[in-house]
Structure formats: C-alpha cells, structure tokens
Chain A
Amino acid sequence: MLFLAFFVLVPMALIVFYAFTTIEGTFTFANIQKFWIHPEAMQTFLYSVVVALITTVICILIGYPAAYILSKMESRKAKLLVILFILPMWINFLIRTLATVALFDFLKIPLGEGALIFGMVYNFLPFMIYPIYNILQKTDQNLIEAAQDLGANPRQVFFKTIFPLSIPGITSGIIMVFMPVISTFAIAELLTINNIKLFGTTLQENIYNGTWNYGAALSLVMLLFIGITVVLNGEGSSKAAEEGNLI
C-alpha cells in the first residue's frame, strides 16, 4: 500500500505541478485556459471518447459471449483457449499493428475509421475477455441451480442471476479498455495514416515538442473527466458486488 501510495501519488503530484506552471516555473492557470480556448484539443478529446466508447461496447458485445462460452467449457481446455487469446499480446505491439496494416492492404480494404476501430478492438479484446471469463468461472454453481430450482427458464437464469454477478468483471474490463484506447497513439497513427488524431497523439506531440506544461494540463483534465465518471460508476458496481456477497 505504501509502495502504491509513493509511486503513484508522487508522480501525480509532479504532473499537477507541471500543469499549473509555465516553462519559467511561475504559477498560472493559462495552461488549463488554453484547453478551453482551443477547440481542437477539446474536439480531439471528445472524438477519442466516442472512439473509446464504441470500442468498449464492441469489446463487450464480442467478448462477453466468448468469455461465457469459455466458462462453460471443460476447465483445462478453457484455460488453454484463454491463453491463446492472450498470446497475440506477446508479439510486440508495433509489429502487430504493422501486420494489421499489411493485412488490410492485402484484403484491399482502405484504411480509415473502420480500420481504426478494428485495430483498437483487436488490441484490447483480450483485456475484456480475461476479467469476464475470470468472474464467470467463479460464479457459484449453487446460485444457478437455485435459480433453476425456483423455476426460472434459461433466459431468466442468465439475465437475472449470471449476468448481474458478472458485472464486476465487465467493470474491470471497461477500466482496462476505455482509457487506454483514448491514450494510445500508435494505432491511430498507423491505421489511419495520421488522418484521425486521438487524444493520445495530442499528448505525445505536446510532450515531444517541448510544450510540457500544456501536455500535463491536458492529461489532468482528461484524468479528472474520467475520474468523475469512474467514481459515479463505482457507486453502481460496488453495490452490485455487495449484493452478490450477501449469501
């Protein structure tokens, strides 16, 4: 805990420090103001949020059934398959993305928004499947049987019992997918030939081109925005978790 506190909070403090200062070191709100005044950063951010939402939703739609099927399979086989889903992640990110570009060229599909979404989903799907699978696997069989005994049909069993219990897994998946999508820049760069700019690119440009302070301010704004969303979300999910625990 102490470790976490130190290594997480102190760098965060540094970011806050940078966000509120200019290059000379004087305290100023100018950086935050810049964000509001310049529509491009805001628009890029909102666009990225939309892309992230679409990606997350698609990942859930594709990933949940996959995780469900896996959880129903024989444990040994399921474990093997889950690892197979994670395996592509071990090939370096850059070459994977380049191979996706090559794949698209090969199939003569033009690069652009569609390619971007595909690339994002491709990259983050395992991160959604994994937590959902984990939680589905631990779902107490007794609960399901109890529901069945009480006369529920398979559909009701799923929607009223299994699904709500798996929500913490979905939440984990969302956390691991949503934000990273906003901040990844290489995928957007390669799969849309830089035509589509995501917020991650904006950040990277600012840091690399020397306008650190603005970059730090940008990331703080982003963090606050997401942080608020997570807190609101957290209210919902912890309640569900608690209800699940009341056996």
Chain B
Amino acid sequence: MIKRILSSSYLGILLVMLYAPILIIVIFSFTEAKVLGNWTGFSLKLYASIFHGGLHHSLTSALWNTLIIGLIAAAASTVLGTMAAIGIYNLLPRAQKAMQMVNTIPILNPDIITAISLFLLFVSLGISQGYATVILAHITFCTPYVVLSVLPRLRRMNPNLYEAALDLGATPLLAVWRILLPELKPGMISGFILAFTLSIDDFVVTLFTIGNQGLETLSTYIYADARRGGLTPELRPLSAIIFITVLALLLVINQRAAKKKL
C-alpha cells in the first residue's frame, strides 16, 4: 500500500516539475504583455489575434506546415525505420554493428552539422528546396530513432514465430504482415510518436533546408520573431490551445479504450 502511494507520488512530483513551465505559459497567455513574465492585467486579446496573421508571415500557415511535415516525416520514418530494423536484424553480427553505427550517426551529430551537410547536399544536387527537402531532411534524422525503438523489440521477439508461420504454409509477405508487424507494432508506434515529436520541434535542420519559396514552420517562425521583436506573444495562447487539445484527445481516447475493454 505504501509502495503504491510512494510510487504514485514520485510520478506525480515528476509530472508537476515537467509541467510547471507549461503552466507558466498558460497563465501568461491571459495577459497582453509582450514579455513573458510581465503581467499587464487579465486579457483575452491574444487568443483573439492568433489567427489574424498576414498572408506572408503567418502563424497559422507555419503551424499547418509543421503539422503536415511532421506527420508525413514521421510516417515515412516509421516505415523506413522498421524496414531498416528488420534489415539490420538479418545481417551477420559484424555487419549489424557497422550498420548500427551508421544508424546512430544522425543522432550523435549536432543538428547544425546535419543541417549544413544536408543543405550542401541539396545544393550540389541542384534540388530545389522547399517542402520536399524539409521532409527528406526530417526523415533523415527521425529514422534512426525509429530504428532504435523497433530493434530492441525485434530482439525480444520469439524467432520461431516467423518460421512457424512459413511452415504452416504462409507466404513470406503474409508472414511479415500477420506475424512480424503486429509484434513490432508497439515499437513502431513509439517510433512514430518520437519521430513526430522531433520533427515538430526541429529548428536548425528545417532552417537550412527550407528554401526560398516562403515556407515556414512553427520553429522558424518563432525564432525569426524572437530575434527581432521578442517572442510573439500569440505563441502563448497557441501553445496553451495545442496543449489542452492534445490532452483532451488523450483523455477521450483513453475513455474509449476503457469502454472497449468492458
């Protein structure tokens, strides 16, 4: 019993610490002050002005781009990462280690180096930069994380399941689809979430692969504003809204799952 209370409170304290800064953002979203930390009286004005961006440098289009890029990059990374993980798993131990090292390089590399090297790559290949290059760049640094999520799962899996399926007459493709992937699913899901998280938060890599067509993501929008006139105050209500929305979604999904089990 005590153990239960202790463990719950441990988690509770951690969560409080993690969310304290978020709470600050939410609290200060209700004031108009341009500087985070100043309180100039309660006001909902910022909430009203979030979506009144201009045509060219707008928070809404940046947000939209971020979401689209994030989802596509995460999806592609998950697919590629899973395939890569399966591939690595099937190699001889020596080659495995080598590939794993190659895989780890983008994680170890400082993101500015990844950014510059990809930038130079795209320039020398003459690829016109924009949506495509950003997505490709994001896939490059997200895939290793997916591999890291899926590979341990592969290792834990009972190797005989696949063989058994083949023995029972399944084609390799069917075996992969029906046996392998469901086993890997949790790893794939966590890889997807990880990839998505990394993608929406990324700044430097996006900055250097964004091209000259006016593309902006949330990060580049925020940093560009921060240099000039301080952090866009509308960011606070935006973050608060995103946060509450996702939280609400989570709770709903959770409730649904509970009902299902019953």
A interface with B by C-beta (< 8 Å) = 1, 3-5, 7-12, 14-15, 62, 65-66, 69-70, 72, 76, 80-81, 83-96, 98-100, 102-103, 105-106, 122, 125-126, 130-131, 134-135, 137-138, 140, 168-169, 172, 175-176, 179-180, 182-183, 199-200, 203-204, 207, 212, 215-216, 219, 222-223, 226-227, 230-231, 234, 238, 241, 244-245
The chain A residue with its CB closest to the CB of B219 is A92
Partner of B222, one of A72, A92, A223, A227: A92
Chain B residues contacting A14 (CB-CB under 8 Å) are 117, 120-121
| Known A-B contacts A62-B14, A69-B10; A91 and B25 likewise in contact (beta carbons under 8 Å) | yes
Q: What are the 10 closest A-B residue pairs judged by CB atoms, nearest first?
A: A11-B117, A183-B110, A99-B21, A69-B7, A102-B37, A179-B108, A7-B140, A219-B113, A99-B24, A89-B197
B111 close to A81 (CB less than 8 A): no
B226 close to A94 (CB less than 8 A): yes
Complex alpha-carbon distance, A202 and B18, angstroms: 29
Complex alpha-carbon distance, A226 and B105, angstroms: 10
Q: Interface with A: B46-54, B161-169, B174-182, B186-194, which one?
A: B186-194
The SS class assigned to the A binding surface is helix
Chain A residues contacting B156 (CB-CB under 8 Å) are 135, 138, 140, 244
Q: From residue A47, how far is it (CB to closest CB) to chain B in Å? A: 16
Chain B residues contacting A8 (CB-CB under 8 Å) are 102-103, 105-106, 140
**Is B136's beta carbon under 8 Å from chain A?**
yes
A-B contact pairs, 23 of them (CB 8 A): A1-B83, A1-B88, A4-B80, A66-B10, A66-B11, A86-B197, A94-B203, A95-B235, A95-B236, A95-B239, A96-B25, A102-B36, A102-B37, A125-B18, A131-B149, A134-B153, A176-B148, A179-B107, A182-B110, A183-B110, A199-B110, A203-B113, A222-B110
Between A84, A95, A203, A222, the greatest number of chain B beta carbons within 10 A of the residue's beta carbon is seen for A95
Between B136, B145, B236, the greatest number of chain A beta carbons within 10 A of the residue's beta carbon is seen for B145
Chain B residues contacting A216 (CB-CB under 8 Å) are 113, 116
**Is B15's beta carbon under 8 Å from chain A?**
yes
B242 close to A4 (CB less than 8 A): no
Chain A residues contacting B152 (CB-CB under 8 Å) are 131, 134-135, 138, 168-169, 172, 241
| Known A-B contacts A4-B143, A15-B117, A227-B101; A105 and B200 likewise in contact (beta carbons under 8 Å) | no
A95 close to B231 (CB less than 8 A): yes
B103 close to A4 (CB less than 8 A): yes
Complex alpha-carbon distance, A212 and B116, angstroms: 10
Chain A residues contacting B28 (CB-CB under 8 Å) are 102
B interface with A by C-beta (< 8 Å) = 7-8, 10-11, 14-15, 17-22, 24-25, 28, 36-37, 80, 83-84, 87-88, 93, 97, 99-114, 116-118, 120-121, 136, 139-140, 143-145, 148-149, 152-153, 155-156, 186-187, 190, 193-194, 197, 200-201, 203, 218-219, 222-223, 226, 231, 235-236, 239, 242-243, 246-247, 250, 254, 257-258, 261
The SS class assigned to the B binding surface is helix
Between A4, A69, A93, A230, the greatest number of chain B beta carbons within 10 A of the residue's beta carbon is seen for A4
Chain B residues contacting A10 (CB-CB under 8 Å) are 121
The chain A residue with its CB closest to the CB of B201 is A93
| Known A-B contacts A70-B11, A102-B37; A91 and B243 likewise in contact (beta carbons under 8 Å) | yes
B10 close to A99 (CB less than 8 A): no
| Known A-B contacts A7-B140, A84-B15; A175 and B117 likewise in contact (beta carbons under 8 Å) | no
Chain A residues contacting B197 (CB-CB under 8 Å) are 86, 89-90
Chain B residues contacting A93 (CB-CB under 8 Å) are 201, 203, 219
